[in-house]
Structure 1
């Protein structure tokens, strides 16, 4: 709709510009006619040079104006365009006044010229500007009448021009009303297209268009753009308990809370389903977190119908926050990073605000400066793997989150937790050397293809081994497919021979493999996967670690755990 509006405005501007060029040509004709009437009864050669000197500058001026309005004028900032437009209107009024003065002042028959600028101004800028121009034009012609015949008792020209002044104003007034009605109609259509009918916030499409525009403005003005993602906790359970009509009531009420607690420049939208999003132009991360926390508290303290049936006895929301350009390089990454922060909030007990944190940033803090560029290139490699393998897309993120949870459960030290997280992030990086056909194959792999796939831990080690600061995660990458009974690969390590953190990674990696849709495997439920961990405890998995993770899964009680995990996408760094 915005493009349609812009195209329509451009067409109007082009038409008006053509009219203004025609007016300039008309002025040339008037000048020529006046020149002929006043100076020429018989054509003489000397007059040729006078005509040339008079009209060549006029034609050059028309050409320059033509190039100006069609190639450069509307490329300026809107504020500058408004100033230029006002100057342009003033110039035309001055030119018309000069023509009238040359062609007889109060006796001139060309006073109607002002109508052109009145009409074009009203069409372009509305009734207010049109009436202002008509009043100025009227004052000029009436002033000329009084100035030329100051002492006459009855000024015929003044009386006649009062009628002309009335025509000027009556032209601007109804035409301005028409332009106003047309603008209101367009605005109404924009609202129908851009507004979500249920919550009366902006819709997803308008949000995406606005975000791209705000990011560009942020670049231009060197200001940040923050983004908030909001998701209603246990909303499916609320809908199942009370019905979709009551669910719509919750969505509307939360939409009202959001709208009444953000700034005038902020843009709030219903992103989809039970998710809301807010763009905060010129707002830094700290301020955005404060806005998000305020919204979280407002929603938690609001009384909703049937909220006592919710797990925590209240309708609550989880919120993620990110900021451009510090946490994202463009509008797409800003959405992804805010989405990542949101799902972290859902994992950690919900009803909380989480700011986006980058695993890559965490890694950079702990590596040598000379290795930063190499580590940054790992991001590109993981993006390539994600594009090749739909299963890997999202797998890394989920394994990272599972690793955070079990690290807390097992009370790992800060350094051990860091190594586990970094290992979870990079454990499949060796798949970069595996053909897409093998990764995406829907049938069971052949022996040759299986042997090729089994090389990815060693390939991963080759990629990172030159980075001294990452040497601690090499055991996790090389050993995350070892089995507790010694039947794993690549080194057939057994029991405690397998590094402790690698044994942890094996559990969470296998759990996600079981609960994900893979080309050659039917997805298990979370309880089925927990049962499989129990069944394989002591053979494939370390019994102590698998028991701890099973407890995490069952403590989060099925549906809540699924809600927090199943929709997570690619890791955002």
Structure 2
């Protein structure tokens, strides 16, 4: 719609510009009629020749300059400067027309109608207000000329006649301006129908994406950041199932109203789809966006919604993700994906919170050779593909990373060992990119053939990252995170201390999260049940020392909100 509107405006501007060019040529004809008075029709008579040169060369140069200006140069200026220049252009045309009328008889001139051209073109381009202003100025000029030329005459017939002409000027601008206004309102209404979500009265998905691309370009051009907030209503399906879709629509409308009332004039708030909303914040850094998101989250949490008592925490709440261009994303598409990833982090970690986008691979890129950056970026894309295939994998990886940080501190790992463990935790399932979505999402137990296929993911993961020299220390974790302490694991059936130490740590936290997560073929265990399972399998599946340390962490933190949030899906 915006493109169609811009094209239409461009066509109108082009037509008006052609009219103005034609008027300039008409002025040339008028000047010729009034200055070439020789009875001779021979073009080479010196007086006629010199007059033509003096008139036409400046006129043609002026027309050429104006032609270049209206069809190329003007479009490159900032809109604010274009508006100023357009006003100057209108003033110049009024002055030129006034000079022509003055030269050609002043009050007796037959060329007073020239003002109609600038009145009509101004009204079409800029609306009724500007058109009436120009018509009033034009009327005052011709009436002033009449009074100036015959100041003492009792009955000024020129003045009387020109009063009618002044009325024509105003009546031309007025109804034409109304037509332009009505058409503009009609276009605005169509834009609303196309760009506005009917339920929440926020912008819709299409408008958001178009605007984001434009804002990112502007931000890039002006070296300004562009932030984005993704918002999702917590437990919205449960609310819908309990109270019905009409009440669900009521919640969507009310949250849309809160968002609309808490964004800036330049911000763009939209319903992204379903129960998700998004806000574009031009010229806003991450810290400012996080603060705005947190204020909005609190506002929604403190607002009373009918039936909210049935929600898990007795309130209607939202989770939010924040990302910023260009620090966290290279373009508008990455900005959407990164804000969406941050939103999922917020939902996984206890909901009703704001999360900024972070990527461990972005941290890795700071510490790797420049030649490997492109490969690591590709790995990041692969992980995004896996997350899209299976949201469980996304949440599982995030939680395993958190558990890895906790046990690394408990075991007092060195800074480098902690980095390797965390990077390995982040990428340990990257080999699942080669596993069909049907296998990853299967709701029944896997067949032997499917299980053998799934067991290949450690080796597949190594194949993906082995060409990146800077990631070579992560390879032992990826290949060995399914080995068992008793030697019955896969793929290499390593035993005891043959399994790399960091891989043994990863095995413990990976298995713990698998036990405490909801999966179609797995009954979720409580933390204590999972801790008991770690104790039971200590010395067989798990390293006794590592499992004991992690069991201590679990029992110490069980019941705390943070641990509860880590497993919340």
Render the CA deviation track for 1:392-432: whole Å, top value 9, x for unaligned: 99986686578679989999998766433311333356799
Alpha carbons 2:517, 2:525 under 8 Å: kept: yes
CA change 1:128–1:420 in 2 (3 A) is same
Alpha carbons 2:527, 2:558 under 8 Å: kept: no
CA change 1:254–1:463 in 2 (3 A) is closer
1 CA distance for matches of 2:426 and 2:296?
32
CA change 1:57–1:107 in 2 (3 A) is same
Secondary structure of 1:412's partner?
coil
1 CA distance for matches of 2:298 and 2:519?
40
Greater CA drift, 518-527 or 128-137: 518-527
Greater CA drift, 539-548 or 270-279: 539-548
Structure 2: where are the runs of 5+ without partners?
Answer: none
Render the CA deviation track for 1:494-535: whole Å, top value 9, x for unaligned: 355434542454577789999999999999999999999999
Shift, 1:63, TM fit: 3.1
CA change 1:383–1:358 in 2 (3 A) is closer
Shift, 1:236, TM fit: 0.9
TM value normalised by structure 2:
0.80
Shift, 1:168, TM fit: 0.9
Shift, 1:199, TM fit: 0.9
Greater CA drift, 370-379 or 482-491: 370-379
CA change 1:529–1:41 in 2 (3 A) is farther
Secondary structure of 1:484's partner?
coil
Secondary structure of 1:323's partner?
strand
Greater CA drift, 100-109 or 472-481: 472-481
CA change 1:256–1:111 in 2 (3 A) is same
1 CA distance for matches of 2:203 and 2:410?
41
2 CA distance for matches of 1:182 and 1:502?
69
Render the CA deviation track for 1:521-560: whole Å, top value 9, x for unaligned: 9999999999999999998777999999999999999999
Alpha carbons 2:480, 2:499 under 8 Å: kept: yes
TM value normalised by structure 1:
0.80
Secondary structure of 2:396's partner?
helix
1 CA distance for matches of 2:87 and 2:93?
10
Structure 1: where are the runs of 5+ without partners?
Answer: 568-572
Shift, 1:566, TM fit: 13
Shift, 1:125, TM fit: 0.3
Render the CA deviation track for 1:25-59: whole Å, top value 9, x for unaligned: 21122222223489979984652343244224323
Render the CA deviation track for 1:129-172: whole Å, top value 9, x for unaligned: 11111111111111211222222222221121111111111111
Aligned alpha-carbon RMSD (Å) = 5.5
Greater CA drift, 435-444 or 89-98: 435-444
Shift, 1:488, TM fit: 4.1
1 CA distance for matches of 2:289 and 2:409?
28
Counterpart in the other structure of 2:345 = 344
CA change 1:11–1:98 in 2 (3 A) is same
- Number of residue pairs matched by the alignment: 568
Alpha carbons 2:349, 2:567 under 8 Å: kept: no
2 CA distance for matches of 1:72 and 1:406?
64
CA change 1:42–1:411 in 2 (3 A) is closer
Greater CA drift, 84-93 or 512-521: 512-521
Alpha carbons 2:251, 2:305 under 8 Å: kept: yes
Alpha carbons 2:35, 2:51 under 8 Å: kept: no
1 CA distance for matches of 2:233 and 2:270?
14
